[in-house]
Structure 1
Amino acid sequence: MPRFAANLSLLFTEVPLLDRFAAARAAGFAAVEMQFPYAETKEVLAARRAEADLPLVLHNLPAGDWAAGERGIAIFPERSAEFREGVARAIDYAGALGCRQINCLAGLAPPDAERARLRATLVENLAYAADALGRAGIRLLVEPINDRDMPGFFLNRLADAAAVIEAAESQNLFIQADLYHMARMGEDLVDSLTAHRARIAHVQIADAPGRHEPGTGGIDFAAAFATLDRLGYDGFIGCEYLPTANTEAGLGWMRSYP
């Protein structure tokens, strides 16, 4: 049966960030994940995580200036040094927080950019990060994101992620499969999960098209979870959705998957 991880960047936002670990525990989540932990000190986050006694199963590499609209820097040749600094920072945080998976956001491709050069930079950066994280005992993930919500994002489908993973030639590079982004791109969830299962290391969910909790859109989560179970996926499922009201009021869906 699914084991759910609360994404603390989107869930329980009605309480301060540092209190969300305890809120997730009280709500029945088995783990937590975050988008970016870097606004807080690693020591304070580690203490709150330990108090809640929940594992942190995922966070992202630094992804540039998020507030200014950046969504990753791994594709930009002129920012490779910044990317590598971010890898070191992410490893530092992951070590303190006991996190064994870090996700990479590729970035938004400028319309006039040479895509072959962006792809070559991405492959090189992923190979570097996968090696550095591997030496620290951490897996590197790369996430496709739909281009309906995020026009210009460089990787949009699981097949796109699989192709750059193959090019990077690393055994420590995996796919983060988000069912919401897959659905928004029109991917057949069962077929795509099955085709790429060997490289899927983490799964996230939100219903489509609204990106709210399961049951508010058109995704057949029972079928998707059954497929993951059939394929032997035993990792956590990150709940990275926007609650339609407050988080607690929208958690009834979890009772369908005890």
Structure 2
Amino acid sequence: MLLAPCIEWQFADHPDLADRIRAASRAGFTAAEFHLWRDKDLPRIAAALAETGMTLTGICVDPRRSIVDPAERAGMVAAVRESIAATAALGRPPLILASGFRVEGMSEADHFANAVAALKEAAALAEEAGVMLLLEPLNTRLFASMYLVSTSLGLDLVEAVGSPNLRLLYDVWHSACMGEDMAAVLAGRIHLVAHVQVADMDDRHEPGTGTLDWAEVMRTLASLGYAGGIGLEYLPTLPMAESLQLTRATLAV
């Protein structure tokens, strides 16, 4: 499987993100990912991508806006539109969306309906531009009132929107924090998952430093038929070369 380090947190001995892309390339990677883009030097990043042949597996829509709060919908759609335009020079990478927080007093049905309506608008922009949107469930450990903290609900939203340009980002660590059974929540719907991210329990470090059974995680992905990439979205505890060696050995890829 394609592995993509999260250069927001990794190769941090290089202050410049473009140099982190070069460092990831020297470490044998062909892809990487990072978080927000507005605080980054996009021309330098584009130059590093062109120089190395690296691709990006995900960048967050920036600024982050709610998909469930009608008062934020126009801002969310604008953020998607601006993110698509701004990242075109980076190869039109997938754009990651979180849900935003629950709206006090709003019913579950209205939360869902608002999310579907907002995501349909965003997906229409993505279809027009040929960009993939990745909807990411998070967890209540980090965000107590986040709306989308369930893989099953995220997949329900993707199905309800019905766009080929909206898929789920399944984060193993977020899912484990929510106590989900990975095989159960993904069964029959792995075709709706376009990207997977990994980190170990409990503290979001490299695979092999915590309590998750990574052999079982990788077997489950393979048995379900997942063929996408793996984003290494973890906070390293070891020097980068050792961290990556452990991660690759633990994931057996």
Q: TM-score, normalised by structure 2?
A: 0.91
User: Structure 2: how far apart are the matches of 1:153 and 1:38?
Assistant: 23
Distance 1:171 1:235 in 2: 15
Partners of 2:248 and 2:7 lie apart in 1 by: 20
In structure 2, the partner of 1:21 is 21
Alignment of 1:10 onto 2:9: yes
Contact 2:199 2:205 in 1 (8 A): yes
Q: How do residues 90-129 of structure 1 correspond to structure 2 at under 5 angstroms?
A: 90-129=83-122
Aligned to 2:213: 220
Q: How does 1:126-137 map to 2 (within 5 A)?
A: 126-137=119-130
Cα RMSD (Å): 1.9
Q: Deviations over 1:156-175 (max 9, x none)?
A: 12101012223323332211
Give the CA deviation at 1:148.
Answer: 1.6
Shift of 1:211: 0.5
CA drift at 1:129: 0.9
Alignment partners' CA distance in 2, 1:80 and 1:41 = 27
> What corresponds to 2:155 in structure 1?
162
In structure 1, the residue matched to 2:234 is: 241
Contact 1:180–1:206 under 8 Å retained in 2: yes
Partner of 1:79: 72
Measured in 2, the distance between the counterparts of 1:73 and 1:63 equals 10
d(CA) in 1 for partners of 2:68 and 2:13? 35
Which of the numbers 169, 180, 186 marks the counterpart of 1:187? 180
Correspondence 1:173 to 2:166: yes
Q: Which amino acid aligns with 1:59?
A: I
CA contact (8 A) 2:206 2:247 kept: no
* Count of residues paired in the alignment: 250
Whole-angstrom distance in 2 between the partners of 1:193 and 1:24: 30
Summarize deviations over 1:184-243 as a string: whole Å, max 9, x none.
Answer: 111112222334312011000001111000011111122211222233322110000111
Q: Please give the residue correspondences for 1:28-39 in structure 2 after superposition, counting only pairs within 5 Å.
A: 28-39=28-39
- Give the letter aligned to residue 54 of structure 2: L
Offset at 1:252? 2.2
Amino acid at match of 2:161: A
Q: CA deviation at 1:110?
A: 4.6
The aligned counterpart of 2:60 is 60
The structural deviation recorded for 1:254 is 3.4
Tell me how far 1:112 sits from its aligned partner. 4.7
Q: How far apart are residue 32 of structure 1 and its match?
A: 0.5
2:3, 2:229 within 8 Å by CA — same for their partners in 1?
A: yes
Give the drift of 1:115: 4.6
**SS of residue matched to 2:56:** coil
2:94 aligned partner, one-letter code: Q
CA distance in 1, matches of 2:149, 2:74: 25
Are 2:35 and 1:42 equivalent residues in the alignment? Answer: no
Q: Which amino acid aligns with 1:48?
A: A
* 2:11–2:23 Cα contact (<8 Å) kept: yes
Please tell me the residue identity of whatever aligns with 2:77.
R
- Contact kept, 8 Å, 1:62 with 1:86, in 2: the verdict is yes
Change (3 A) 1:255 1:124: closer
Letter aligned with residue 54 of structure 1: M
In 2, distance between residues paired with 1:191 and 1:94?
Answer: 35
Q: CA deviation at 1:9?
A: 1.2
Preserved contact between residue 176 and residue 201 of structure 2 (Cα < 8 Å): yes
Normalising by structure 1, report the TM-score. 0.89
Q: 1:246 to 1:37 in 2, by over 3 A?
A: farther
